[in-house]
Structure 1
Amino acid sequence: MKRIIYKGFLLTSLAFSLVACSKNFTNPGATPVEDALSNSTGLTGVAVGVQKQYSVGRQSALYNLVTANGFSSFELSLRNEGNVDEFNLWRGGINVDGNNNILGNLWTSSLKVIFDANNVIDNAANLGDRGYAAGLIGYASIFKAMALGNLSMYWEQIPASIGTNVSFKSRAEGFAEAIATLDAALAAIAANPISAQFLTNLPAGIEIPNTLQALKARYSLFSGNYAAALAAANAVDLTKKSTMNFDAVSPNPIFNVSTATNNVFQVIDSTFGLPEALRPDMTDGRIGFYMSVNPTIAPRWRIKGFGAELATPWAIYVPGEMTLIKAEALARAGGASLNDAVTELNKILTKTSAADPFGIGANQPVYGGAVTQEAVLTEIYRQRCIELYMQGFKMEDMRRFNRSNDPNVEKKRNFFPYPFRERDNNPNTPTDPTF
């Protein structure tokens, strides 16, 4: 995933050890932190380590985000009950407790990403090359915002800071911090365009300015700020791709853990885990994008899409997400904006795979339902579940669209319990949600 090789301590974010959740991310045997954070080479290495921490391995935020959301929202099928943490998420409800390592890894990895990204962002401001500093700030801010978003999507409250016995803040404040991080990065880039030198040292795949706007659109939507979400989505160039790339050294975690082994999870099937009224037509091209069929060996439906191969890149956002954000923002405005929402919705329904940078195309007829706010929003929810399959947003979407809260109807949890690794080290940890 990397273009240039740094000393090992840089590629592992200074080899900080994760000791429970005391958040004392230090390693006495590593090169001094202040040395690595005082120059562009060291900061670039730490920043590359942030991406690796977020995206590579079974303990990464990416793997655990897809897994926790997928089992809790009926997107995934369990392959082996011996995988206890996945099995308990699949069972849902009270079977999911603070001892679940999927949740613990998502929590810890996200906090670690925030910690390391803060080091990059804060120290990049001291560099003399402002264009290089802007690149570092933009790049690190992407992962910090996604880590904050992960915590805010799945827990009712999140740590207010990184440290010992920290207090907690609401998930709404977590989304607000993610947006503020993105805004600060956009301002840094506007003041000093990213230098060509920084881009040559960046792992291939990530398109920084568009990604910052796309994430701002996402978290503004989740925050209920529809005007800001619409403006940010309109600022994204939908012809561009932004991906986390993988290779034999740093393999795609979904492929490496699940697709290749067929021993942890697979896709649910062509229903996408949706209730009957919302399931895609079998002619929908997105079934073939996200799933393959094995006619001889169970299960029949297999992972494809962004988990297809060892080196398959993972999209940080897909262009269709931006179009659906526009549709939702317009639909929630109601009135005359409903017709504009349908126009955006039809762009998703009629899109062919050839017209999408990733090859995601429904190739379906235009929307033929009632042009009422309730009906249009329901169709937008349906399209989000299909277009953004296995990308970690479905539980958040179900809350926003007021889908059923009954256990095992459409979701198996509403919010997650706090990991024991946090509770055992922090007396300020909030009470767990009932469901």
Structure 2
Amino acid sequence: MKKFIVYILGILTAVSACQKGEINSLNTPVVGGIITDPTRSDLFNLVTGAESGMRNNVGTYLDGTGVIGREIYRLSGSEPRWTTDILGGGTKLLDNNTFYITNPWASRYQVMRQCFILLDAIKTTRNEVATDAQKKAFTGFAKTLIGYQLLLNINMTDSNGARIPVSDNKNLGPVITDPGVVLDSVLKFLEDGKTDLTGSEVIFPLSDGFAGFKTAEGLLRFNRAIAARVYLYRKNWTAALTALNESFFNLNGDFNIGVYHSFSTNGGDLPNPLFLPPNSTGEVRVAQPSFAADITPGDNRITKTAIRTATASGSGLSSNRDVVIWTSLNSPITIIRNEELILIYAEAKIQSNAFPDAIVALNRIRIGHNLPPYAGAATQAALITEMLRQRRYSLYMEGHRWIDVRRYHLLNTLPIDRAGDDIWARFPLPQSESNI
């Protein structure tokens, strides 16, 4: 990321998720100045700011879903709520006005707001600045990001609801408590993004997290990959398979081909917020013990964790395995990659009763991780269990485990670590939404 990400992010850093009224910046023109006859540099900065903003509080999102989903323990000398509120310790409840919901929630709506500013700016963009085909790429990218960011928020709150983002920030709609309705809105943004990206021309810069996906064709394949995930959540198996065929899904391809959040320690950029050196003390992220206890011997996904020199303990919890997915402050964080798409294909095929196709996909995952081919029953129930197991290990700490067990009504299968702990089904709606 370039240092100029600060140019546009300055507009939004002090903005709440759903703040009404004009947004003023301390170091840039007001929004009205940006959306009236923007320059190409203005448009580029809006795109770069939106991409950069997607990274804000992504670590909090993944830690929160990872702790609730019993993938990790987040032991912190400075923040006990990782082991109290989020695990439901004793009488503790999730707080609707605390960092673990308010920070990622607001960050996602800030990106959506920035994308709407970009959409408004394109309406007044002169043809000398961008051709019609180039304008379509800007709007297609903005709509794709709006859909993706809204998806992350409804993943957190589920039936506690979310607001459908709108261009007019002074006239916000109601909180929608039916997650299906919100997911359908996500799909509408994605489908509109697909329409705009088709036949467009990309001229704006993107980070190396989008390496291989910086063209209109690449962004369209990214859009379709996210859509496949959402169609899966909506149990529209046919549409999920169609979206996969339009994405970068490759049954025999590299598991790690995909789109990522890019980080670095360069001046003006952001370091990876999830990296902690192995064997750290004070601030520790360790695997919940069942990760290693339940894994099949020989499964090479065990290397997503590493044995510590000394067991980490705190608040009645202990683990001897660090999470080592991110190996430095420069490591990328996954948005979506081919391994997830293979598992989406497997799930859609299972639910469509196309068991031989599903088994081929599951075996692609198993053999790719040093396991023998699947030898269980060729029934829907058995294959769903196998698919969820492979998702657990393949997509470890990528933000899926908690959502997977919730959508299959299996929250009660997650381990309870201490007497009196709870498994939460959803985060509360942030208090700020109730104050509007």
8 A contact 2:279–2:309 mirrored in 1: no
Q: What is aligned with 1:175?
A: 183
Matched residues in 2 for 1:154 and 1:130: separation?
37
The C-alpha deviation readout for 1:86-124, integer Å capped at 9, x for no partner, is: 233442275212132111112111111111112223433
Q: What is aligned with 2:60?
A: 64
8 A contact 1:68–1:89 mirrored in 2: no
Is residue 288 of structure 2 the alignment partner of residue 291 of structure 1? no
Matched residues in 2 for 1:130 and 1:287: separation?
49
Is residue 274 of structure 2 the alignment partner of residue 254 of structure 1? yes
| Structure 2 counterpart SS, 1:317 | strand
Is residue 147 of structure 2 the alignment partner of residue 139 of structure 1? no
Aligned counterparts, 1:344-423, within 5 A: 344-351=361-368, 362-405=369-412, 409=416, 412-423=423-434
8 A contact 2:275–2:328 mirrored in 1: yes
Is residue 164 of structure 2 the alignment partner of residue 160 of structure 1? yes
Task: Give 1:406 shift.
Answer: 7.4
TM-score (norm 1): 0.83
Task: Give 1:295 shift.
Answer: 2.9
8 A contact 1:13–1:116 mirrored in 2: no
Cα distance, 1:126–1:204 mapped onto 2, change above 3 Å: farther
| Structure 1 counterpart SS, 2:290 | coil
Task: Give 1:168 shift.
Answer: 1.4
Task: Give 1:416 shift.
Answer: 1.3
Task: Give 1:135 shift.
Answer: 3.1
- More deviation, 70-79/45-54: 45-54
| Structure 2 counterpart SS, 1:282 | coil
Aligned counterparts, 1:9-408, within 5 A: 9-10=7-8, 12=9, 14-19=11-16, 21-24=18-21, 26-27=23-24, 29=26, 30-37=28-35, 38-56=38-56, 60=57, 62-80=58-76, 82-92=78-88, 94-127=92-125, 128=127, 129-155=131-157, 156=159, 157-161=161-165, 163=169, 166-169=173-176, 170-192=178-200, 194-195=201-202, 197-198=203-204, 201-206=205-210, 207=213, 208-237=219-248, 238=250, 239=253, 240-248=257-265, 249-255=269-275, 262-269=281-288, 271-272=290-291, 279-288=294-303, 290-296=304-310, 298=312, 300-305=320-325, 307-334=326-353, 337-351=354-368, 362-405=369-412
Cα distance, 1:19–1:78 mapped onto 2, change above 3 Å: closer
Cα distance, 1:311–1:414 mapped onto 2, change above 3 Å: same
Cα distance, 1:84–1:269 mapped onto 2, change above 3 Å: closer
| Structure 1 counterpart SS, 2:350 | helix
The C-alpha deviation readout for 1:208-235, integer Å capped at 9, x for no partner, is: 2321111011111111111111111232
Cα distance, 1:83–1:320 mapped onto 2, change above 3 Å: same
Runs of 5+ in structure 1 lacking a partner? 352-361, 427-435
Q: CA RMSD in A?
A: 2.7
The C-alpha deviation readout for 1:256-285, integer Å capped at 9, x for no partner, is: 6x8796534413156328xx6xx2213111
Runs of 5+ in structure 2 lacking a partner? 214-218, 313-318
Matched residues in 2 for 1:378 and 1:284: separation?
17
Task: Give 1:28 shift.
Answer: 5.2
8 A contact 2:279–2:322 mirrored in 1: no
Amino acid at match of 1:328: E
